[in-house]
Amino acid sequence: MTKWGMTIDLKRCIGCQSCTMACKTHNGTPAGIFFRRVVEKEFGTYPNVRRTYTPVNCMHCDDAPCVANCPAGVFSKRDDGIVEYDAGKCYGARVCRMVCPYNAVSFIEKIEPYDGEAFIPPEKYWYEKYEAGTAVKCTFCADRLADGLKPACVKTCPTEAMAFGDLEDPESDVSRLIRKRGGQPLHPELGTKPNVYYLS
């Protein structure tokens, strides 16, 4: 059985936000909604300053708090490991936003045009699949996976910082990278068993 997972090489990430843009372009998310972000942090004092970039998206946890705590059953875990959502069931409790340790669930308060005045034709097309007042999140581009393609963020990354594949297959790129580089998930101490591993 396939179990999809991702690795993110922090040494390769240059913080260009290409993955953020690829995600927005592919998913056509409304203004202010991001399924993926590259979180930045600068620390130290001049001249010893360091800036870190950490791409963050849904970790598709095995023990996903959003799946367990959503009272309406919006989130569910697929056999291939993807945590998918059905926005049609969402009534806006927003408990998913409280319990997700990765700030990976977005809530569409309202759908507005980017220029603040009128929707341009692509926006009208993209936003048809979203409904204001519902929760949304990354699905590892499940529609692309169904077509045999990799997630848009993985495909786009100019430094090939990300790998995507079957965690159950010991010979897949992700399994080999996790073994070789000692990949670790974000906040393993929370016990959510994420399926996105970071290489540092």
Partner 1 sequence: MTNATEQRVERLPVGAGWIPDSFEAGFLRQRDWRLWEVLSFYFGGLGTGLYVISALLDSRASGDAPRGTIVGMILGFLLVIVAKNGSHLMASTHPAKALRSMSRPGSSWISRGALAIFIFGVFGALDIVVRLGWIPGDGETLGWIFAIIALASAFVVMVYIGFVMAEARTIALWHTPLLPVMYLAFSLVLGSALATGIFNLAGIEYDTALLRIILLVTIPVTVFLMLAHLSFLGFSNQAARLSMQMLTKGEVAASYIGGVLVVGLVVPLILTAAAYGADGAARWVSVISAVLMVVGGYLFYSSLFRAAVFSPVVQPGARSVAVVP
Nearest CB to partner 1, comparing residues 48 and 121: 48
For residue 71, is the peptide bond before it cis, meaning its omega torsion is within 30 degrees of 0? no
Give the torsion sign (CA, 6, 54, 147, 129): positive
How far apart are the two ends of the chain, measured CA to CA in Å? 28
3-state secondary structure of 95: helix
Check if the beta carbon of residue 151 is closer than 8 Å to that of residue 161: no
3-state helix, strand, coil in the chain (%, to 5): 25, 25, 50
100 to 139: interface string for partner 1, x by CB under 8 A: -xxx---x------------------------xxx-----
Residue recorded with tokens 């592919």: 26
Residues 4-33 as x/- pattern, contact with partner 1 by CB under 8 A: ------x-----------------------
Q: CB neighbours (10 Å) of residue 131? A: 13
Q: Least distance to partner 1 from the beta carbon of 31, Å? A: 13
Binding mask 132-171 for partner 1 (x = CB under 8 A): xxx-------------------------------------
Q: Which stretch binds partner 1 (CB under 8 A): 117-125, 143-151, 158-166, 181-189?
A: 181-189
Residues near 123 by beta carbon (within 8 Å), at least 6 away in sequence:
28, 113, 114
39 contributes a contact to partner 1 by CB under 8 A: yes
Interface with partner 1 (CB under 8 A), residue from 4, 140, 164, 198: 198
Per-residue binding letters, 70-99, with partner 1 (x by CB under 8 A): xxxx---------------xxxxxxx-xxx
Tell me which residues touch partner 1 (CB under 8 A). Answer: 10, 34, 37-41, 43, 50, 52, 54, 56, 65, 67-73, 89-95, 97-99, 101-103, 107, 132-134, 184-190, 198, 200
